[in-house]
Amino acid sequence: MRAVVSFLTGGLFGLGLLISGMTDTTKVQGWLDVFGDWDPTLAFVMGGAIIPMAIAWRFTIGRKPVLAAAFPAPPEPRIGRNLVIGSTLFGAGWGLAGLCPGPALASLSYGGTGGLVFLAAMLAGMMLTPGLRVRFDRAVPAT
Amino acid sequence: MQQDWIMGLIGGGLIGMAGALFLLVNGRIMGASGIIGGLVDGSGRSDWQERAALIAGLVIVPAIAALAIGGSETNLTGNWIIIVAAGLLVGIGTRLANGCTSGHGVCGISRLSLRGIVSTAFYIGAGGLTMVLFKHVLGVI
């Protein structure tokens, strides 16, 4: 049953990405390109997504999920080095291609060879990260 | 242009409802990079069915919808070096930061998570700087 809900979640998510235009890399890059022909669409997508999600978080207070034991733990307040460095690297890649993980998957069927190559490189990066993290922590110990 | 922001709002609403469904029923955070990353590096092996099902929905449903509307276009660059570099950066960056636009952005900001807000500020800032450098200065994208 949880898998069925997961499939529906992915489906709604993907449909939203397609409808909103977020699988079109020019719309994402257009939003990041403040000094070019700025495209405000992404802000509306973010706003449109955050509103139902904020209501859902409110709804979790004092309740339990339908098919799970508990809701996720409260967010960790600590801002670590990995959060800052990781987000910066991610943003650079996001700007270069105009794709992030959700849209890279949602556009798989119509993204052509380029989309497949992007996904393969992204998965390779994800596979390499645990090893990189260990080396990085050894080279520059966290303070 | 006017239609774009309306479609953005509607599409965004669907994304938010997807996240709300996953949270309220399965008790989990809908973060694309975490869901797929856990499958790729093995850290999410115990609940692989749930992850695989979400990814299947995320790929199959837009595929059908795109066919129904007569196809869609990503307008991705044809520069292979940029595609590979961007893919690696997105893969490593999102896993190092433990989240991407959906996890930190949509799910984090909506619960006023400091980590989500800081992460979003950094990836948007880095994306904006990348546009300045690679589009306006170097002219390669």
Which pair of structure tokens corresponds to residue B37? Answer: 């990353």
pLDDT at B113 over 90: yes
Compute the nearest-CA separation of A110 from chain B (Å).
6
Rounded to two decimals, the ipTM of the complex is 0.97
Nearest by CB to A52, which of B16, B84, B104? B16
- The band of A94, judged by pLDDT with boundaries at 50, 70 and 90, is very high
Predicted confidence (pLDDT) per residue in A24-64, tens digit:
999 999 999 999 999 999 999 999 999 999 999 999 999 99
Nearest by CB to B40, which of A46, A92, A123? A123
Predicted confidence (pLDDT) per residue in B1-44, tens digit:
579 999 999 999 999 999 999 999 999 999 999 999 999 999 99
Distances (CA, A) of B97 to A88, A89, B21, B92, B118: 9, 9, 24, 9, 11
Please give the model's pTM, rounded to 2 decimal places. 0.96
Domain limits, chain B = 76-141
| Residue A79 to residue B115, Cβ atoms within 8 A | yes
Closest residue by Cα to residue B123 from B140, B104, B141: B104
pLDDT, position B6 = 97
Question: Do residues B76 and A115 lie in contact, with contact meaning Cβ atoms separated by under 8 Å?
Answer: yes
Predicted confidence (pLDDT) per residue in A108-135, tens digit:
999 999 999 999 999 999 999 999 999 9
Compute the nearest-CA separation of A85 from chain B (Å).
7
Residues in chain A closer than 8 A to B98 (CB atoms): 82-83, 86
pLDDT at B116 over 90: yes
Predicted confidence (pLDDT) per residue in A5-19, tens digit:
999 999 999 999 999
Nearest by CB to A7, which of B30, B53, B62? B53
pLDDT, position B40 = 97
| Residue A82 to residue B86, Cβ atoms within 8 A | no
pLDDT at A76 over 90: no
pLDDT, position A143 = 59
Compute the nearest-CA separation of A38 from chain B (Å).
11
Q: What is the mean pLDDT of chain B?
A: 97
Q: B125: how many CB neighbours lie within 10 A of its CB?
A: 14
Question: Do residues A29 and A95 lie in contact, with contact meaning Cβ atoms separated by under 8 Å?
Answer: yes
pLDDT at B126 over 60: yes
pLDDT at B111 over 70: yes
Which pair of structure tokens corresponds to residue A130? Answer: 């645990």
Say which residues have a Cβ less than 8 Å from residue B83's Cβ, sequence separation at least 6: A97, A114, A117, A118, A121, B76, B77
| Residue A83 to residue B131, Cβ atoms within 8 A | no
Residues in chain A closer than 8 A to B54 (CB atoms): 6-7, 9-10, 13
Nearest by CB to A14, which of B61, B85, B118? B61
User: Mutation test of the interface with chain A: which of B94, B98, B107, B112, choosing the one with the most A Cβ atoms within 10 A?
Assistant: B94
